[in-house]
Amino acid sequence: MKNIYYLLREEYYGQRKKAIVLGAVIFGIFFLSRFVQEFVGRFGGVGQFDYQESIGGYLYVAGFIFTSMCLARSMHTRLGQHNWLMMPVFAHEKLIAKIIAYSLIYPVGLILFTFLSSALTEGFMALFWHHAVPLFRPFDRSVLLMGAHYFVLSSLFLMGAAYFKSAHFIKTVLSLLAFAVSLGLVAGLLVRFVYRDYYTSMVAGTFHINGEDILLQYCRFPWLSRWGEPLGKFLYWGVLSPFFWAVTYFRIKEAEAKDAV
């Protein structure tokens, strides 16, 4: 535990400048958008600003980029990796520190920061324009769900950070796309097989995309209609992130110095 704390402290001091810049950008965008909106609103009606909808981009895009880059300098640069490899801590402690920093502290910090930014911005708007919109609600179900999705999906980008030696974010996204296409092809073949009674040729005639009906009416495996969704949810919420963390762990553990000569 002590080592994880030391690693987190190192991470904090290493990343705080980036965090301050991101915070300033988010606050600046909120403030400017709201100010302009209120100003324009003096001359006619404009759409309502909703803080709940604004967090997704910062959470997912910025968070995944940060996560993808989290091992770039330490594990993948010739000079940086010396300190990384010689750090007297276990590989799993390094991994846990990264998970805590990028999958837990980042989303929680961002959500709290968004709330504070909204409070400051709307406080100013109320004073200056005598008008404010509802603040960001950090405990709203949609926000909590977004945070939970981020927690799961960030494990993929953490694996990309460990696995790819450069262009970590782009390569992870492209790999995911390639995987999605492959999965789509496999799923297409499976559908062709599972609903084979429905197909009269290579292309199904009047195939209505109505999940419940299709599953119940045509499926040769009725257990799928009952267990498919819970199974999918279990795989997504329970298996996906531990699997990718495990792959990341082995990648971190097997990392070697490069260009030793």
Partner 1 sequence: MITLDNLTFRYGKKPLFDKLRLNLEEGNIYGLLGMNGAGKTTLLKVISGQLYRREGDADVLGFDPGRRHPDMLREIFYLPEEFALPRITVELYLKLYSPFYPRFSREEFEGYCATFQLDLTQKLSEYSFGQKKKFLLAFGLASQTRLLILDEPTNGLDIPSKSQFRKTVASAMTPERSFLISTHQVRDMENLIDPLVILHQGKVILNSSLEGVSRKIRMEKTLAEPAPGSGILYTEKVPGGYYAIGKTSSPEEESALDLEVLFNGVVSDPAGIGGLFKEDRA
148 touches partner 1 by CB under 8 A:
no
- In the complex with partner 1, the residue whose CB is nearer, 93 or 122, is 93
- In the complex with partner 1, the residue whose CB is nearer, 53 or 256, is 256
82 touches partner 1 by CB under 8 A:
yes
Here the tokens at position 20 are 């301050």
| Interface with partner 1: number of residues (CB under 8 A) | 24
77 touches partner 1 by CB under 8 A:
yes
State the nearest-atom distance from the C-beta of 202 to partner 1, in Å. Answer: 48
Residues 6 or more apart whose CB falls under 8 angstroms from that of 15 comprise: 66, 101
219 touches partner 1 by CB under 8 A:
no
- In the complex with partner 1, the residue whose CB is nearer, 10 or 35, is 10
- In the complex with partner 1, the residue whose CB is nearer, 153 or 255, is 255
Please report, as residue ranges, which positions from 7 to 66 form the binding site for partner 1 (by CB under 8 A).
9-10, 13-14
238 touches partner 1 by CB under 8 A:
no
The one segment of 29-37, 58-66, 74-82, 213-221 that binds partner 1 by CB under 8 A: 74-82
SS (H, E, C) the chain: CHHHHHHHHHHHHHHHHHHHHHHHHHHHHHHHHHHHHHHHHCCCCCCCCCHHHHHHHHHHHHHHHHHHHCCHHHHCCCCHHHHHHHCCCCHHHHHHHHHHHHHHHHHHHHHHHHHHHHHHHHHHHHHHHCCCCCCCCCCCHHHHHHHHHHHHHHHHHHHHHHHCCCCHHHHHHHHHHHHHHHHHHHHHHHHHHHCCCCCCCCCCCCCCCCHHHHHHHHCCCCHHHHHHHHHHHHHHHHHHHHHHHHHHHHHHHHCCCCCCC
State the nearest-atom distance from the C-beta of 109 to partner 1, in Å. Answer: 20
CA distances from 5 to 196, 217, 243 (A): 56, 55, 24
Find the binder of partner 1 among 44, 53, 79, 230 (CB under 8 A).
79
Find the binder of partner 1 among 27, 35, 60, 90 (CB under 8 A).
90
83 touches partner 1 by CB under 8 A:
yes
- In the complex with partner 1, the residue whose CB is nearer, 64 or 66, is 66
Are 68 and 157 within 8 A, CB to CB?
yes
Find the binder of partner 1 among 87, 120, 173, 247 (CB under 8 A).
87
State the nearest-atom distance from the C-beta of 159 to partner 1, in Å. Answer: 21
Chain residues binding partner 1 by CB under 8 A are: 2-3, 6, 9-10, 13-14, 77-80, 82-83, 85-91, 256-257, 260-261
